[in-house]
Amino acid sequence: MSMDIRGDPQLVASFRSVRKSRSGPWTGLSFDIIPEMVSYSQTGFSFDFVNSNKEIYYSYEISNRSTLTRLVMNQTGKIERYVWLDLSGWIMYWYTPRTQCAAIDSCGPNGVCSLFISPMCSCLQGFKPKSPGDWGLMDGSRGCVRKQPLDCQNRTDGFLKMTAAQLPDTWSSFVDRSMGLEECRARCLMNCSCTAYTNADVRDGGSGCILWFQDLSGLGQFESGQTLYVRLAASEFVHADITHRHEHESEMREEDIELPMFDLSLIHEATNNFAPENKLGQGGFGPVYKGKLRDGLEIAVKRLSKTSKQGTDEFKNEVMLITKLQHRNLVRLLGCCIQVEERMLIYEYMPNKSLDAFLFGVEPVE
C-alpha cells in the first residue's frame, strides 16, 4: 500500500506494478471510498491528511493512548485494522476494500458500479456498452462509450449532474483548491479534453476543483457519495427537457440551463464592485463591465439595468435561448447570476478590435 501522489493523491493497494484497489481522494472529511472514517472519530480515532507544496501524508491518532492497534495487509490485498482487547485478544476493527466497487476499474471506462442494483454495472446516461455481448454475460470490464460525440468546437455541450457518486480514479486529474465550482465548470467547458468536474473538498458547501480529462474509470454510486458533473453532448438533454417541461415550466433548472450560476459576491470581487474604470460600455440591456476571476480568467459582465422592464422569467428565457445559440463564432456565454435584484450575463472577455480576428482569423487593422 502506498500514497499515489499523481493528480489528486489517494491510497492505492498494488500487486507488484498492478494497481488493485484505491481509497479515492481526500474529501476534507475522509477518503472518498472510505466514508465510514467519519464515524470512527466517535470511537477515539482521528485522521489527518496534509497536501502542500512540501509534503503529502496521511496519519491517524488515538485519543486513548493505552489502546493498541495495528494496520496490516493480508495476502489477498485487503487492508485490515486490528484492536487489542484484554479479554478477546486481537479483533478486526475495520477493513478495506469492503465492496467490489472499490476495485480500480470494476465496470470499465465510463461504467458505473453500484451495489444497490443488479446487475452491478451500468452505463452513465449518454453512454452505451462497448461490448453488448460481454455486458449480457455480466462482464462490464470493457466499459461504455458515448452515444453522441461531444461538440466542443461549437461549445454546445452540457453536464449531467450525478449525485451520490463514488469519484472516478484521480491519478490523471487536475486539482486547484483555490477555484470555486463555477470557475471549475467554466474551465472544463473551455477545454475540449475535459470530461467531468467536481469540488475537491465537500466541507462548508464545497470548495476547490477537480477536473478529469479522459474516460472515467472506477466510477461508482453509493449513499454517501458526492455530486459529480459529467460532460455530455447537448442532444442528450433534449429528452429530459421535454419530460419535465410542464411540471417545472417556471423554474430555473440545471437540466434547462447548462450554464454555471455565478455567485454575486464573486462578480463583485471580479469587477471591483462595478468600479467605473471597469465599465466597457452601455447598451439597451444595461452596462457592461470588465472583470477578472480569481484564477485569472477575464470576463465581461452584462448587468441588466434596474430600469429595464424585463422580468426574471423573461431573463431566464433569454438565457436559455442564448445557451442554445452557442457557436464557435460567437463570444462565449460562461454563465449568469440571479441574486437579490441583480440579473447578469457573464461572457468571455474579448479585447478591443479582436472580433475581426476571432471571426475571420485575421489580425485587426489599426
Q: What is the DSSP letter of 31?
A: B
AA letter at 58: Y
The predicted structure's pLDDT at residue 298: 87
Contacts of 180 (CB under 8 A, 6+ apart): 207, 209, 263, 266, 294
- Give residue-wise pLDDT tens across range 109-142: 999 998 767 788 899 889 999 988 887 777 888 8
Whether the pLDDT of residue 182 is over 50: the answer is yes
Whether residue 293 is contained in a domain is answered as: yes
**CA quadruple 131, 127, 163, 13: dihedral sign:** positive
Q: Is residue 225 part of a domain?
A: no
Q: Look at 88 and 333; give whichever has higher pLDDT.
A: 88
Is 279 among the domain residues? yes
Which CA distances in Å does 285 have to 137, 308, 311, 343, 349? 58, 7, 12, 10, 17
**Among 100, 123, 149, where does a domain finish?**
100
Residue 148 lies in a domain: no
Q: How many helices (H) and strands (E) does the chain have?
A: 7, 23
End-to-end CA distance of the chain: 62
Q: Which residue shows C-alpha cell 470555486?
A: 180
Residue 136 placed within a domain: no
Question: What are the cell numbers at 336?
Answer: 449568469
Reference 283, options 302, 301, 265; nearest CA is: 302
Mean pLDDT of the chain: 82
Comparing 13-17, 38-42, 122-126, the range with the smallest average pLDDT is 38-42
Long-range contacts of range 296-300, CB-CB < 8 Å, 24 or more positions apart? 297/183, 297/186, 297/187, 297/348, 298/348, 298/349, 299/270, 299/334, 299/346, 299/347, 299/348, 299/349, 300/331, 300/346, 300/347, 300/348, 300/349, 300/350
In a domain, 87, yes or no: yes
339 falls in which pLDDT band (50, 70, 90)?
low
Residue ending a domain, among 100, 119, 141, is 100
| Domains held by the chain: number | 2
pTM: 0.66
Extract the runs of DSSP E, i.e. beta strands, from 86-235: 89-96, 111-114, 121-123, 127-129, 144-146, 158-166, 174-176, 196-198, 209-212, 220-221, 226-232
Cis peptide before 97 (omega within 30 of 0): yes
Choosing from 100, 133, 164, the residue where a domain stops is 100
Neighbours of 194 (CB within 10 A): 21
Confidence of residue 316 (pLDDT cuts 50, 70, 90): low
Q: What is the C-alpha separation between 157 and 152, in angstroms, rounded? A: 7
Residue 292 sits in a domain whose CATH number is 3.30.200.20
pLDDT surpasses 90 at 23: yes
Instruction: Answer yes or no: is 233 within a domain.
Output: no
Residue 184 lies in a domain: no
Q: Structural domain of residue 87, as residue ranges?
A: 2-100
CA distance linking residue 176 with residue 187, whole number of Å:
11
